Chains A and B, each alone.
Chain A
């Protein structure tokens, strides 16, 4: 079974600074997808960024970028120029490529990100 590990229960960063959230995963699959979701107090999970395992290039979305190390099974999220609205729980998630896509997402335990003004 796949597992996703987020080793940082909580992280704090000053506004406008850069922060990196860690995620490692364990799988025997070669094709899969990785995601970072954000969950603010409203509880709604919002997709931040996604990475296809077959792509060597790291995904970027504005201030958000990932460092994907397939051999190390590592998938960290970097948030640049942190803003107060970035404060939330961040979840790393994995989904194997099963053709029909029958499987749900496997999530890590989450990292609580605090933005200090």
Chain B
């Protein structure tokens, strides 16, 4: 079956602009995770959703970052007023349930470059 998909694959934007990154999880997966991968910080966990709710948003780097999930499926990560330090690969993962035992399946990521 189809895996996790993310769009766009690559995004170049100018400093100060807003960007939206999209994640389509595997059908039926209720848990969804966002990670950021950058040269300086490595892989960082940002936020997770169980269904449409995100109980803990403390992993988001700043208040310029927000995420939502609708219909228990597609999720959007929005970065407002982008800064050069936001340049990174943003990875999305999903799993059947949020239990620790469940494997997370990753998408190919969105590479964001802020000029």
Contacts and interface: CB of A to CB of B under 8 A. Distances in A.
A44 B55 contact: no
A107 B42 contact: yes
Contact of A33 (B35, B100, B105): B100
Q: Is the interface of A mostly helix, strand, loop or mixed?
A: loop
Contacts of B104: 47, 105
Contact of B42 (A37, A50, A109): A109
B109 A43 contact: yes
Interface string A87-110: 000010001111111111111111
B45 A103 contact: yes
Interface stretch (B12-20, B63-71, B79-87, B91-99): B91-99
A26 to B, nearest CB: 15
Interface string B11-53: 0000000000000000000010101000000110110101000
B100 A91 contact: no
B100 A97 contact: yes
Contacts of B50: 102
B62 interface: no
Question: Interface residues of A toward B: which range?
Answer: 20 to 34
Contacts, number: 64
Contacts of A98: 100
A24 B38 CA distance: 21
Of B35, B43, B97, most A-chain CB atoms within 10 Å: B43
A44 B109 contact: yes
Interface residues of B, number: 29
Contact of A102 (B93, B98, B109, B111): B98
A92 B3 CA distance: 22
B112 interface: no
A45 B6 CA distance: 13
Contact of A100 (B35, B46, B98): B98
A56 interface: no
A97 B50 CA distance: 17
B106 A45 contact: yes
Contacts of A109: 42
B33 A45 contact: no
Contacts of A97: 100
